[in-house]
A and B are shown apart, each in its own frame.
Chain A
Amino acid sequence: RKEVEQDPGPFNVPEGATVAFNCTYSNSASQSFFWYRQDCRKEPKLLMSVYSSGNEDGRFTAQLNRASQYISLLIRDSKLSDSATYLCVVNRKDTGNQFYFGTGTSLTVIP
């Protein structure tokens, strides 16, 4: 079983839509969680860390459910510039703080 699993999509949504991505992780020793954004042929860039209480950054909201080992990212009022691949990333202390990446979810925002 993969450490981190994401729905690969693609998600094609109209501008202004709200879209949610989900991610599950397999190991309960996972302790830190992140969402990254990766544009085509570019490097991953940190979008936001995910905290246990949930956190928001503008149009982006991240949630963590440790009991279900589930992470989500909600994007409100989608913009064309949100089109990218969104990577769910988990960090495990028991493996020396290794980072584990999901395969990514592709989002295209359509005019």
Chain B
Amino acid sequence: EADIYQTPRYLVIGTGKKITLECSQTMGHDKMYWYQQDPGMELHLIHYSYGVNSTEKGDLSSESTVSRIRTEHFPLTLESARPSHTSQYLCASSDRGTGRPQHFGDGTRLSIL
């Protein structure tokens, strides 16, 4: 089993709140990713990082921001949550090198009222 953890698992919160979704991995992976996925739909990459102090935006435009101050930690922040942010957020990590797969956390299911 991969050692990548996301908290909280579920979050229901009101519009306008600042939210931080936590993601940590204990595998020493350089690469970390955030995906957004609506029920029954495909995954969309919203942010990724190839190491400490490296962050990039993904294919899907997102109002969220990320930081990578430590290798093991890749939090995602929404400054002011809106109902359109309601979705499942999945964090993943992968080791460097060819052929290394991604490992996913359990996800955070976010509902903005």
Contact = CB atoms under 8 A, between A and B. Distances in A.
Interface of A: 31-32, 34, 41-46, 49, 87, 89, 91, 93, 96-99, 101-104
Interface of B: 31, 33, 39, 41-43, 45, 48, 50, 88, 90, 94, 96, 98-107, 109
B33 A103 contact: no
Contacts of B43: 44, 87, 101
Contact of B105 (A34, A43, A96): A43
B101 A46 contact: yes
Contacts of B88: 41
A32 B105 contact: no
Contacts of B106: 42-43
A106 to B, nearest CB: 9
Q: 4 tightest CB-CB pairs across the interface, nearest first? A: A43-B104, A103-B42, A32-B99, A101-B43
Main SS class of interface, A: strand
A42 B107 CA distance: 7
A28 to B, nearest CB: 16
6 contacts: A32-B99, A32-B100, A43-B105, A97-B96, A97-B98, A103-B41
B101 A49 contact: yes
Contact of A49 (B33, B39, B99, B105): B99
A103 B40 CA distance: 9
A104 B39 CA distance: 12
A24 to B, nearest CB: 16
A34 B101 contact: yes
A32 B98 CA distance: 7
Contacts of B102: 44, 46, 89, 99
Looking at A42, A87, A102, the one whose CB has the most chain B CB atoms below 10 A away is A42
Contacts of A91: 99
A93 B98 contact: yes
B50 A96 contact: yes
A46 B107 contact: no
Nearest to B35: A101
Contacts of B90: 43-44
A31 B111 CA distance: 37
